[in-house]
Amino acid sequence: MNEHDNINLENEHEQQRVRRQKLEALQAANTDPFHHTTYNVTAHSSDIHDNFDGLEGKTVSVAGRVMTKRNMGKASFIDVQDRYGRIQSYVRGDNIGEEAYATFVTYDIGDIVGIEGEVFKTQKGEISVKAKSVTLLAKSLQVLPEKWHGLTDTEARYRRRYVDLIVNPEIRDTFVKRTQIIKAIREFLDNRNYLEVDTPVLQTIPGGASARPFVTHHNTLDMEMHLRIALELPLKRLIVGGFERVYELSKVFRNEGISIRHNPEFVMLELYEAYTDYNGMMELAESLLREVALKILGTTTVTYGEHTMDWGKPFAKITMVEAVRKYANVDFDQIKDLEEARKIAKEHGIHFEQRHAKGDILNLFFEEFAEKHLIEPTFLIDYPVEISPLTKRKPDNPDYTERFELFVAGRELANAYSELNDPIDQRQRFMHQEAMRASGDDEANILDEDFLLAMEYGMPPTGGMGIGVERLIMFLTDSASIRDVIFFPTMKPIG
């Protein structure tokens, strides 16, 4: 910390001390602002700006946080910020009373006030409220940062999101869009006769994805439990039970790295539809993204960073083998066995582990050479069976499965299958996953006997899909990091 930082810190501490003294003076005068329990708000800032002609000359009550204050002797101007924006207020001693005005001028930036007054327009043409009374509803004891957005420690914004929301309106707009996006997803699926359901967060066996779970202990049952890593297996049980279209939009938890794309807890959309396959899921994914973009942005043109994409056009489609052939110049259709795949991987600098099969190495090639090139929305289809333990095989090529992932701007957005409904094949896949786990793959699926029992009762042909909701929100708000679209991202406490 340099000398300039020390001076700023000392000044901030002094301001905090002065604010506490002001609060003590108010309390001594029996005007404790924290004693107020309600305030009758009759208008918000947007109401006044949007309907000035109808409100001019009428009395309104507004409430919010003081963001700017300009004292000019016997009169002052303040900007009050509420959930929809800011409204200026003109406060004059002649109008609210000299004693009340003397108290008002002691108020600080950040204080929360209620203002009752008449809507008018200043000589400079600014829509304002001429105060008849000002009520202090809460005293701010902390000093708002003047240039919060310019802090070099960007993590401070995530740690104190409440301050970030106060001083950066564009951040609030992002989170309003977040809610609108989630609402639009629900409306789309509801209109397609999907039933929204909720399934347990605590599970005895974490399944449905390749990920490391969080582990906890249930005291009464004296057993280990896990926070769910996916929604898949309980939702498929509901398909077995006769619900033909179900979805859940909820939190999942994965005990893995934190990055601009990953947070340990995030919102996942998973949906399952009987009597369709991964082709049906492609149509649904394309329609869903197009409709949500249109509702939120008013256009299907989506700008993300340096990329401008048209989600209104038919999405591209390419197999994983074709993508690797195109971008790595390696044709896995011509690779005969695992030894040849390992040899070619070494030649191309692809690191693999002893447990990796030919299909795993194909996927490693895709991630290294091809993924970054899929900018326009692209369905990457037909994944190797080794990395798709819950997916139906392709009838004409059983080494591959009817699975796709949707990539946008070089990032995975959705994952979908023609769901495996053969309980015998599913048991064999689980056994392979158990072997992978035994060989050191902590993220391999765990055998779930109850799920296999459910499948043995008969599961109809089914298409299923999962979408990382925060990733979709990132695209539609042009946010670089997942932490920009999560109110309170996971962070290590200071100290």
One digit per residue, the tens of pLDDT, for the chain of length 495 reads 555 556 667 788 899 999 999 999 999 999 999 999 999 999 999 999 999 999 999 999 999 999 999 998 889 999 999 999 999 999 999 999 999 999 999 999 999 999 999 999 999 999 999 999 999 999 999 999 875 444 446 788 899 999 999 988 889 999 999 999 999 999 999 999 999 999 999 999 998 888 899 999 999 999 999 999 999 999 999 999 999 999 999 999 999 888 999 999 999 999 999 999 999 999 999 999 999 999 999 999 999 999 999 999 999 999 999 999 999 999 999 999 999 999 999 999 999 999 999 999 999 999 999 999 999 999 999 999 999 988 999 999 999 999 999 999 999 999 999 999 999 999 999 998 888 888 888 888 888 999 999 999 999 999 999 999 999 999 999 999 999 999 999 998 887
- Domain residues of the chain, as ranges? 3-144, 166-315+376-484
Please state the pTM of the whole predicted model.
Answer: 0.92
What's the CATH architecture for 3-144?
A: Beta Barrel (2.40)
CB atoms within 10 A of CB 151: 12
Q: Give the CATH superfamily of 166-315+376-484.
A: Bira Bifunctional Protein; Domain 2 (3.30.930.10)
Tokens of 360: 């795993």
202 backbone dihedrals φ, ψ, rounded to 5°: -85, 125
